[in-house]
């Protein structure tokens, strides 16, 4: 039987993880196998730069944290070696970065996640990862808003140009003697 000190440490891990899962914009659970130290270092750096927390935590502790915050639907994915990535600001960042590594490493796979308080499957996480960056979406929106305005301005300019051609001063006839 584990000592009281170890139980308290595990309880603190569960409470902390439950708090994080309750506050996150998104979270992604991945099967953490077959990744080299170099790949892991690069991936963790990319996650850290994106403001994403990434941890390898025992499945039983993840399961208890899920129970605490009502994400029991994530528990069937808790088999084998798993890691969890949590983002508080950008719901797309963990999915995008982890999908990139899942495509490179055959044994590294996305298992599921949490998106704005709901448990989602791996397919949904992959779809989320395929969303273009915010800047690209804003540029597309602005482009689609500007296009009709440019066309309208072009039509108005054509009308102005046509009117200007029709009002050109006529040549004066030579004066009669």
> Does residue 124 share a domain with residue 141?
no
Both tokens assigned to 84: 């969890």
> Does residue 80 share a domain with residue 12?
yes
Count other Cβ atoms within 10 Å, centred on residue 158: 10
CA distance 116 to 85: 14
Closest CA to 100 of 123, 127, 122, 129: 129
Q: Is residue 175, in this structure, part of any structural domain at all? A: no
**Count of structural domains within the chain:** 2
Both tokens assigned to 57: 């935590």
We report the CATH number of the domain holding residue 96 as 3.30.70.1730
Mean pLDDT, range 63-89, rounded to an integer:
92
> Does residue 116 share a domain with residue 145?
no
Mean pLDDT, range 122-150, rounded to an integer:
83
pLDDT beyond 70 at 91: yes
> Does residue 57 share a domain with residue 25?
yes
Give the pLDDT of residue 132: 80
pLDDT beyond 80 at 170: no
> Does residue 99 share a domain with residue 21?
yes
Sole residue written with tokens 């690209």: 136
Q: Is residue 173, in this structure, part of any structural domain at all? A: no
Sole residue written with tokens 């804003």: 138
CB 107 within 8 A of CB 34: yes
User: What b-and-e string marks burial along 90-109, b requiring 16 or more CB atoms within 10 Å of the CB?
Assistant: bbbbbbbbbbebbeebeebb
Sole residue written with tokens 């996150």: 24
Average pLDDT of the chain to the nearest whole number: 87
> Does residue 122 share a domain with residue 94?
yes
How big is the chain, counted in residues? 177
49-58, 62-71, 123-132: segment of lowest average pLDDT = 123-132
Q: Is residue 112, in this structure, part of any structural domain at all? A: yes
Q: Which domain range does residue 143 map to? A: 132-165
> Does residue 93 share a domain with residue 31?
yes
CA distance 65 to 72: 9
47-56, 75-84, 126-135, 166-175: segment of lowest average pLDDT = 166-175
The whole model's pTM is what? 0.72
- What would you report as the CA-atom Rg of the chain, rounded to the nearest whole angstrom? 29
Q: Is residue 31, in this structure, part of any structural domain at all? A: yes
Which residue would you say has higher pLDDT here, 164 or 138? 138
């Amino acid at each position: 039987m584990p000592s009281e000190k170890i139980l308290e440490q595990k309880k603190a891990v569960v409470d902390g993880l439950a708090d994080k899962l309750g506050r996150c914009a998104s979270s992604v659970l991945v099967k953490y196998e077959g990744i080299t130290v170099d790949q892991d270092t690069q991936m963790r750096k990319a996650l850290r730069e994106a403001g994403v927390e990434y941890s390898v935590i025992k499945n039983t502790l993840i399961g208890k944290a899920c129970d605490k915050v009502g994400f029991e639907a994530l528990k069937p994915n808790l088999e084998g070696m798993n890691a969890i990535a949590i983002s508080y600001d950008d719901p797309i960042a963990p999915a995008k970065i982890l999908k990139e590594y899942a495509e490179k490493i055959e044994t590294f796979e996305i298992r599921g996640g949490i998106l704005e308080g709901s448990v989602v499957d791996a397919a949904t996480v992959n779809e989320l990862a395929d969303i273009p960056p915010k800047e690209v979406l804003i540029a597309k929106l602005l482009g689609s808003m500007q296009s009709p305005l440019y066309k309208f301005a072009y039509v108005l300019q054509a009308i102005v140009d046509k009117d200007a051609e029709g009002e050109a001063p006529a040549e004066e006839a030579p004066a009669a003697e």
